[in-house]
Structure 1
């Protein structure tokens, strides 16, 4: 297995084109700032944006699908334009639409971005909040990253996978809370995710979809696919909007809380095995 069978993008660039991120001072092209991610046993940034999901096992493992592991990667998408087209309610003047990042939202933390209409300032009544979510990994790719940067053959393939269970537990809980707050304001919050993650969420949590522009829709999932066969004008792989799905925070909450229960007899048998 080659290191480019593990890494899709490093510091925003296709992995086969980026072996010396230090020469770029680790500047992330998506935020125009130094990468803030850190790897194991290093003080240097760990600018891994996207990894390959593998299919098969052992020597037959092959890269099958790119999975974004850094939320800053989504900033290359036309998030504002897509929100205006698919989520925004009512007329607007595009020149008066602004996007601001990292806005504190009480004790629950920040929202990653807010798209707002500034035409009525000092009154600010029309806005949509945005949450970006990538996927954590289990295992480690640190040694493989070192081999890639050093341009040496990997001694052994790394063992890693994608921790969708943690995203379901942590991210959906936060999204429900923030969705509730936005519903009390009669506003919407958009969850920007990769198609891979939305598919995983919908497999685990069965929630009814609503029109993203409906007044009762408080949460909107906006999913993107990463096309590794096509690059944009700056040479980065292109993110493409794939699906926009609305729901209500109460519907999502009920779907999460009232999942289909596990089989009772299997649970009883597990108890017996411990006796």
Structure 2
């Protein structure tokens, strides 16, 4: 097995084309800044953008699809255009629509981006906030990265997986809080995520969907798929909008809090095993 069987993208490039990110100054092409990701046991950047998810076992093990592990990767998507088409309410002039990043939102932290209409400045009445979310991994791929830099084959297959449970716990809680704030302002917040994560969320949290442009919709999920067979004009693998689903913050909150309870009999059996 080779490192390129694990990594799809390094520092924005197809992994087979990028083995010396230090020579590129570790500059992230999506932000034009030095990569801020860190690996285990190193102070150097760990510029891995996406990793292959596998399915099956042993001789049936095969690549399923790439999973984005850095939220900055979403900046190559046409987030602004997709919001204007699927989420924005009311008329606008495209040349008056701006996007700004990292806006502080009280004690709860920042939102990654805000798309706003600047036509009535100094008044700023129409805007949509954006939260980007990638998926963390469990286990480690540090040895794979070392092999990738030295262009040597892997001694053993790495053991890693994708920590969707942590995303459910942390990201959805943040999204509900920020969604509540936006609902009080009569505004919307868009969660930009990958299709694999959105599928996981929908499997675990059953919430009613609403029209993304409805005035009561405060949270909108925009799900993208990463296509490793097609590149855009700049040579990056293409991100394609797959699904746009709206909901209300209270609906999402109730779906998260009031999940289907586990079996009481199984719970009791677990207690008995510890007696």
Q: TM-score higher than 0.5 here? A: yes
**Counterparts of 1:149 and 1:54 in 2: how far apart (Å)?**
22
Asked if 2 retains the 8 angstrom alpha-carbon contact of 1:117 and 1:126, the reply is yes
1:176-195 equivalent positions in 2, closer than 5 A: 176-195=176-195
**Counterparts of 1:88 and 1:220 in 2: how far apart (Å)?**
11
> Who is 2:150 aligned against?
150
Structure 1 position 186, deviation (Å) = 0.2
> Who is 1:264 aligned against?
264
1:207-246 equivalent positions in 2, closer than 5 A: 207-246=207-246
**Counterparts of 1:217 and 1:69 in 2: how far apart (Å)?**
28
> Who is 2:274 aligned against?
274
**Counterparts of 1:62 and 1:153 in 2: how far apart (Å)?**
18
**Counterparts of 1:188 and 1:136 in 2: how far apart (Å)?**
26
Matched, 1:40 2:54: no
Question: Which segment is superposed worse, 61-70 or 184-193?
Answer: 61-70
**Counterparts of 1:115 and 1:71 in 2: how far apart (Å)?**
17
Asked if 1 retains the 8 angstrom alpha-carbon contact of 2:71 and 2:133, the reply is yes
**Counterparts of 2:240 and 2:53 in 1: how far apart (Å)?**
19
Encode CA deviations 1:48-90: one digit per residue, 9 max, x unaligned.
Answer: 0000001122454322110000000000000000000000000
Misfit runs of 4+, over 3 Å? none
1:78-93 equivalent positions in 2, closer than 5 A: 78-93=78-93
**Counterparts of 1:30 and 1:45 in 2: how far apart (Å)?**
15
> Who is 1:123 aligned against?
123
**Counterparts of 2:99 and 2:138 in 1: how far apart (Å)?**
33
**Counterparts of 2:3 and 2:99 in 1: how far apart (Å)?**
37
Q: Secondary structure in 2 aligned to 1:98? A: strand
Structure 1 position 156, deviation (Å) = 1.0
**Counterparts of 1:64 and 1:261 in 2: how far apart (Å)?**
31
Matched, 1:200 2:200: yes
Encode CA deviations 1:92-130: one digit per residue, 9 max, x unaligned.
Answer: 010100000000000000000000000111111100000
Structure 1 position 234, deviation (Å) = 1.0
**Counterparts of 1:260 and 1:167 in 2: how far apart (Å)?**
19
Asked if 2 retains the 8 angstrom alpha-carbon contact of 1:5 and 1:62, the reply is no
Q: Secondary structure in 2 aligned to 1:102? A: strand
> Who is 1:11 aligned against?
11
Asked if 2 retains the 8 angstrom alpha-carbon contact of 1:194 and 1:223, the reply is yes
Structure 1 position 184, deviation (Å) = 0.2
Q: Secondary structure in 2 aligned to 1:267? A: helix
Structure 1 position 212, deviation (Å) = 0.1
* TM-score normalised to structure 1 length: 0.99
Matched, 1:170 2:170: yes
Question: Which segment is superposed worse, 132-141 or 60-69?
Answer: 60-69
Q: Gapped runs of 5+ residues in structure 1?
A: none
RMSD of equivalent CA atoms = 0.7
* TM-score normalised to structure 2 length: 0.99
Q: Secondary structure in 2 aligned to 1:27? A: coil
**Counterparts of 2:86 and 2:60 in 1: how far apart (Å)?**
41
